[in-house]
């Protein structure tokens, strides 16, 4: 189990954007953005893998189960569901990002457009 799996948000492990930034800096996590196509194109966390929530089940075979994923959406609710999907499929290192891309952008952290 990964050491950053400490927060709980509606049953899904969760981290905040400060923790996400530290994990990205240490290359300890991959970001999985579960927002819709137009949302992702409007701006996303650098390096984020795009897998809209409605198509996440189809993308699971392409994801590596031995990688930790920080699941992010706009504000945090879809990422909780996405994290649950990953955990149910055996991805032990999945966490939801509290506040989502909105919190990331509002904090002044970089966004890819």
Active-site residues: which are they? 73
Q: Are 109 and 17 in contact (CB under 8 A)?
A: yes
* Burial of residue 42 (number of CB atoms within 10 Å: 0-12, 13-18, 19+): middle
Token pair recorded at residue 38? 């137009």
Give the span between the Cα atoms of 73 and 1, in whole angstroms. 23
CA distances from 8 to 20, 68, 80, 95 (A): 15, 16, 10, 9
DSSP-assigned beta bridge partners for residue 32: 49, 71
């Amino acid at each position: 189990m990964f050491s950053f799996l400490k927060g709980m948000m509606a049953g899904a492990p969760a981290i905040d954007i400060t923790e996400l930034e530290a994990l990205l800096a240490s290359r300890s996590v991959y970001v999985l953005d579960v927002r819709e196509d137009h949302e992702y194109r409007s701006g996303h966390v650098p390096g984020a893998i795009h897998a809209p929530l409605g198509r996440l089940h189809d993308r699971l075979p392409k994801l590596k189960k031995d990688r930790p994923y920080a699941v992010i959406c706009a504000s945090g609710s879809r990422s909780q569901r996405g994290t649950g999907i990953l955990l149910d499929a055996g991805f032990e290192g999945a966490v939801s990002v509290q506040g989502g891309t909105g919190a990331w952008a509002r904090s002044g952290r970089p966004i890819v457009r």
